[in-house]
């Protein structure tokens, strides 16, 4: 342990002694789950009793946004607490087989640098340095190479799908490559992916001692391929792929919910339920298999349906029960929020873009107006958005729309050109943000913003 790590751990221990026992953290992340794909957010055809019970015992955030409309960038922001643009090359999902899907990512891929560098500080690293046990069981999607894996980002143990799209039973990508790994070694294990991740999480919990822990469970479900959890065919070694089959998709979500329930049951059996912060969220809006309810757009778009997703947070005795909080919240807010809850300070020099929303969630402060930004790139697509208060500007491949979300949540009424002044002001803010978040590692390739 370095001097800095020792100092951070000592400071965390001092804060913990002053604040009482440090809480455990369990973070469940669904993959491509739509706004209306859980009961407590309006689903009428999918039953999610465990997510619903979390919501009754905690706080729902109907204005929670992912930092991007796809997997990799949101996961980058979630773990680092910063805009993913600061990392460089992580503005869209890394393609199957470690493929860069836009110019910055392609440039990094050719140099063997496509992934989340170990030089980045994740909140898992900070928690581990302060004395937490840490583990990741699920989908990683932040780089295939060993230097980008969970073991380099603060996780003591992991079992993970490295890429973004693997068969639920063979755990192989389309070209047959096995992408299920355990602690940096390939793992050829039979079973449905959701069950494997839940079983690993439960087994890990059973091995815990007296230290606080952070358990990260980023399920692959209900991302494609759409496969029946109970549809395994011994002749093929997998289950048929049934894209756009809503009934099978519903079974995938319900299996995810049931296995979350098993993990939560283990917490209760350990006597740790009251001392554990539990979160449930999705990495982006639903694809054509999912349901984004009244919201416009879907995965890969910056309309509300592409970036607004369910968030539920429960912490018995610290957060109110059965409440809705209207704070505009992003993926990158969870890192500073959870570190605050754990009484763990960020190391010197680490600055988050995310906002600590713990006191707002607890009802100690009113929701705050804020200005937040998005930029998404894939192939020739460049999409940008800024939300200032309730006003949102979207620039979709050069086409501009302005909406007042307080009165037009569905984004049906474009206020342009009648509000050209507002649009110009927001574009100026967006341009300044793009300069601010320029990634140092891209400077040899892209010296300017954009």
Q: What angle do CA 7, 214, 158 make, to 5 degrees?
A: 110
Name the DSSP letter for residue 93: P
Instruction: Name beta bridge partners: 312.
Output: 60, 280
Q: Residue 294 and residue 328: Cα distance in Å, rounded?
A: 18
Query: Residue 423, SS3?
Result: helix
Q: Residue 334 and residue 339: Cα distance in Å, rounded?
A: 8
- Which ranges constitute the DSSP H helices of 28-81? 49-56, 71-80
Cα–Cα distance list, 251 to 73, 193, 293 (Å) = 27, 14, 19
Name the DSSP letter for residue 116: -
Render 265-283 in DSSP notation, one character per residue. HHHHHTT-GGGEEEEEEES
Q: Could you count the other beta carbons within 10 Å of the beta carbon of residue 84?
A: 30
Catalytic, out of 92, 136, 141, 403: 141
Cα–Cα distance list, 12 to 20, 127, 270 (Å) = 12, 9, 24
Q: Residue 257 and residue 277: Cα distance in Å, rounded?
A: 17
Cα–Cα distance list, 305 to 290, 292, 301 (Å) = 10, 5, 8
141: annotated active-site residue: yes
Catalytic, out of 71, 92, 171, 403: 71
* 8 A C-beta contact, residue 124 and residue 214: yes
Phi, psi of 23, rounded to the nearest 5 degrees: -80, 155
Query: Residue 139, SS3?
Result: strand
Q: Identify the sign of the CA torsion 255, 256, 257, 260.
A: positive
Q: Residue 432 and residue 15: Cα distance in Å, rounded?
A: 37
Active site residues: 71, 141
């Amino acid at each position: 342990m370095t001097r800095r790590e020792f100092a951070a751990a000592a400071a965390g221990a001092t804060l913990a002694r002053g604040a009482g026992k440090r809480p455990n953290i369990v973070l469940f992340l669904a993959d491509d789950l739509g706004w209306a794909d859980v009961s407590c957010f309006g689903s009428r055809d999918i039953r999610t009793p465990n997510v619903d019970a979390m919501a009754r015992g905690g706080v729902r955030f109907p204005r929670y946004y992912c930092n991007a409309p796809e997997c990799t960038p949101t996961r980058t922001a979630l773990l680092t607490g910063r805009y993913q643009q600061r990392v460089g090359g992580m503005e869209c999902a890394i393609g199957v087989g470690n493929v860069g899907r836009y110019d910055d990512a392609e440039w990094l891929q050719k140099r063997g640098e496509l992934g989340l560098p170990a030089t980045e500080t994740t909140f898992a690293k900070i928690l581990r340095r302060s004395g937490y046990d840490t583990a990741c069981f699920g989908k990683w999607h932040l780089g295939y190479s060993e230097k980008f894996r969970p073991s380099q980002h603060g996780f003591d143990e992991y079992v993970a799908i490295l890429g973004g799209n693997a068969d639920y039973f063979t755990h192989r990508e389309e070209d047959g490559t096995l992408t299920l790994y355990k602690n940096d070694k390939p793992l050829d294990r039979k079973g449905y992916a959701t069950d494997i991740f839940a079983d690993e999480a439960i087994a890990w919990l059973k091995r815990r001692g007296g230290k606080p822990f952070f358990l990260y469970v980023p399920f692959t479900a209900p991302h494609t391929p759409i496969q029946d959890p109970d549809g395994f065919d011994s002749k093929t070694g997998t289950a048929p792929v049934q894209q756009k089959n809503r009934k099978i998709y519903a079974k995938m979500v319900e299996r995810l919910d049931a296995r979350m329930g098993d993990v939560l049951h283990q917490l209760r059996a350990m006597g740790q339920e009251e001392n554990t912060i539990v979160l449930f969220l999705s990495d982006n809006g639903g694809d054509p298999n999912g349901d984004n309810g009244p919201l416009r757009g879907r995965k890969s778009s910056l309309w509300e349906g592409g970036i607004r997703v369910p968030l539920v947070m429960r912490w018995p005795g610290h957060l109110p029960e059965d409440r809705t909080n209207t704070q505009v919240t992003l993926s990158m807010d969870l890192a500073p929020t959870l570190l605050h809850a754990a009484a763990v300070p960020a190391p010197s020099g680490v600055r988050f873009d995310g906002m600590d929303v713990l006191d707002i969630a607890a009802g100690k402060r009113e929701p705050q107006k804020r200005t937040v930004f998005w930029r998404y790139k894939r192939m020739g697509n460049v999409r940008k958005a800024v939300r200032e208060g309730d006003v949102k500007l979207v620039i979709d491949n050069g086409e501009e729309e302005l909406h007042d979300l307080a009165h037009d949540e569905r984004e049906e009424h474009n206020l342009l050109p009648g509000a050209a002044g507002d649009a110009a002001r927001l574009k100026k803010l967006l341009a300044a943000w793009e300069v601010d978040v320029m990634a140092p590692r891209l400077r040899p390739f892209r010296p300017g913003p954009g």
